[in-house]
């Protein structure tokens, strides 16, 4: 089954609290919001499942209600490069949706997740009718560009503490991921997948960041204490 067809086979009604977690809905006027809500598709994704894959034509603009996804690509040698994690509140693929292109990356679930999709034609209808939606998408594109530039810089860094700090900072981006807040529910193994380090090395780096009072390790996740510090710390 093509990855994003899971929304055709496993979709269910969107609950009211799930609608509340979609940040751009509140920016629409009533007719726009009702059309968008009528067209939204939501489904449950199991760990390891692909939401979309490289070379697949786009059908939806996707968002994450709960869980954690990984955005990555594979090169000709079979090596995987991770661009970003996508936590709750994050929407992705707006650039691909704008150009109606095939995906140039894979999106895979790292844990059981709930994913919502807005059909491509509805996405373009909102662009044609809503100035507020246009501004939201432009802000997304601007933040995404900065995120990818930072990801390339992080990929060249050899210091594990800096790699972990910068990756955590990207996951706490309040524009791209407003659903995260101050606490990110993530395991050390999941973070290791995103950072490209061993779980043991990630654990050591987290302890160092906690000692510097940049984060606090809590049961089931991490609390950010100094987001600016995560973005700029040196070792």
pLDDT in tens, 156-171: 777 899 999 999 999 9
The edge-to-edge listing of strands for the beta sheet with 41-45 is 41-45, 113-119, 60-66, 91-92
Grade residue 84 by pLDDT with cuts at 50, 70 and 90.
confident
Task: Inform me whether the pLDDT recorded for 11 exceeds 70.
Answer: no
Going 21 to 27 to 32 to 33, the CA torsion angle's sign is: positive
DSSP state letter for 12: B
Question: How high is the mean pLDDT of the chain?
Answer: 89
Q: Is 17 exposed, middle or buried (0-12, 13-18, 19+ CB in 10 A)?
A: exposed
């Amino acid at each position: 089954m093509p990855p994003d067809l899971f929304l055709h086979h496993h979709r269910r009604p969107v609950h009211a609290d799930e609608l509340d977690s979609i940040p751009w809905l509140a920016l629409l006027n009533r007719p726009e919001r009702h059309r968008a809500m009528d067209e939204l598709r939501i489904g449950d994704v199991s760990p390891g499942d692909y939401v979309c894959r490289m070379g697949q034509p786009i059908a939806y603009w996707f968002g994450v209600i709960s869980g954690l996804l990984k955005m990555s690509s594979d090169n000709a040698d079979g090596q995987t490069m991770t661009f970003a994690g996508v936590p709750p509140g994050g929407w992705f693929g707006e650039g691909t949706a704008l150009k109606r292109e095939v995906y140039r990356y894979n999106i895979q679930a790292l844990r059981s997740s709930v994913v919502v999709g807005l059909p491509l034609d509805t996405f373009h209808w909102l662009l044609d009718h809503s100035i507020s939606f246009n501004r939201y998408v432009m802000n997304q594109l601007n933040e995404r560009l900065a995120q990818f530039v930072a990801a390339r810089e992080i990929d060249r860094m050899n210091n594990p503490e800096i790699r972990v700090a910068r990756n955590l900072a990207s996951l706490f981006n309040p524009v791209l991921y407003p659903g995260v807040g101050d606490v990110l529910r993530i395991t050390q193994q999941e973070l290791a997948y995103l950072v490209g380090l061993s779980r043991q090395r990630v654990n050591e780096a987290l302890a160092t960041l906690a000692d510097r009072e940049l984060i606090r390790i809590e049961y089931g996740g991490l609390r950010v204490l100094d987001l600016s510090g995560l973005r700029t710390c040196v070792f």
